[in-house]
Homo-oligomer: A and B are copies of this chain.
Amino acid sequence: MRTGPNQDDVRRHNLGSLLRYVHVHGATSRAELTTRLGLNRSTIGALTADLIGAGLVSEAAPRETGRAGRPSLVVRPESGRVYAYALSIEVDRLRAARVGLGGRILEQYEAERPPGMSAGEAIRPLARFVATMRSGVPDGARCVGSGVAVAGMVRRADGMVRLAPTIGWVEEPVGADLTSELGQYGRLSVGNHSDVCALAEHARGAAVGSDNVIYLYGDVGVGAGIVAGGRRITGHGGYGGEVGHMVVNPYGRPCSCGSRGCWETEIGEHALLRLAGRADRSGRDEVLAVVDAAMRGDSQAQHALRQVGDWIGFGVGNLINIFNPEVVIFGGTLRDVYLGAAAQIRSRLNAIGLPACREQVRLRTPELGTDAALIGAAELAFDHLLDDPLVS
């Protein structure tokens, strides 16, 4: 049951709305804020003053307006002064960044994650990255917290990584361990990699303006971040979106999860490379090599791409019947496979998707690339600030 708002709630809500608007849309004139937020000019002025006082936004005259009359002041997020740490634990990479309010990556670091690297081992380089960034932060800048993306199933309550088959982790307390390493830099939130990529592409990338979005991410594993009715679907414990473990082929191969014929056994990297006769290889470069070979006429690579594309269309067809999304985004190596097999994917999707569901769906590639995980992880930290700008 929602609690009814009082005066403080209204002010907090309005401060959050204004700050969120400039965080997502960047520098915005007071006149536009008045229109977009449905508040009057004096309220916008008062809210802006509060946010300036808290060091969260700045205000300046626009460069030039090309119009007669006094120009409306422009409100900007303080991207250089207010920031979050963003970490990403991926199959083959560890990334860390300092992300300014407004979603600007101020600096970033990355290292390889060798196969078999434990959770304990992965935390050390991430902490080192943060320490390095910390040492260079300008005086007076303010950290609002940290967000972490993990390519695995993350318990929302405490950031416990329950299962990350492609990384090889089971029941690793990543949230607790990173909090004890980085706790002095504010609250830390952990989310699933595909979920935070969806957040980022929804706010600033290929799905801006769409309220029903499936962001599909694939490398060795396959997962999805899903936005329905404008909000991220996380499920009861935080584990929603495990579309890679939707069984599509009851007679298929064993999956690392213990089941058989999961979607990721048909469309993950291993499937493509095996079908292309390159089962001994792995990694994004090898996926790209298969797509390139297919373009150059290599018949085995073409066959592999057709086969995988067919299964991609199959699963996406199921998902559009279930979710009726407006946009489906193909991220990770699925981006490259999509570009190489778009016709095959569309054809199978059209055979499975119900007309009402498939007729309006747009298939897209990401706009933020590998930055999506970092920008999305930072959103987990910014969310607390945006909910209550003057307290957090």
Contact = CB atoms under 8 A, between A and B. Distances in A.
Given A163-B355, A241-B322, 19 more contacts: A1-B17, A1-B21, A1-B37, A3-B17, A4-B10, A4-B38, A4-B39, A5-B14, A229-B233, A231-B231, A236-B360, A237-B324, A237-B357, A242-B322, A243-B322, A245-B321, A246-B321, A258-B351, A259-B351
A365 to B, nearest CB: 19
A38 B35 CA distance: 31
A104 interface: no
Interface string A295-326: 00000000000000000001001110111111
A40 to B, nearest CB: 8
Contact of A239 (B2, B163, B236, B354): B354
Interface stretch (A105-113, A127-135, A247-255, A271-279): A247-255
Contacts of A240: 212, 228, 322-324
A157 B87 CA distance: 41
Contacts of A351: 258-259
Nearest to A25: B1
Interface string A257-296: 1110000000000000000000000000000000000000
16 contacts: A1-B17, A1-B37, A4-B13, A5-B14, A228-B235, A235-B357, A236-B325, A236-B326, A236-B361, A237-B360, A239-B354, A243-B321, A245-B352, A247-B248, A247-B352, A319-B322
A10 B21 contact: no
A347 interface: no
A203 B214 CA distance: 28
A210 B259 CA distance: 28
A160 to B, nearest CB: 9
Nearest to A212: B236
Given A37-B4, A228-B228, A246-B321, A162 B236 contact: no
B238 A324 contact: yes
A135 B227 CA distance: 46
Given A2-B17, A4-B17, A236-B324, A242 B357 contact: yes
Given A324-B239, A355-B163, A231 B229 contact: yes
A235 B355 contact: no
A354 B249 contact: no
A325 B326 CA distance: 23
Contacts of A245: 318, 321, 352, 354
B356 A237 contact: yes
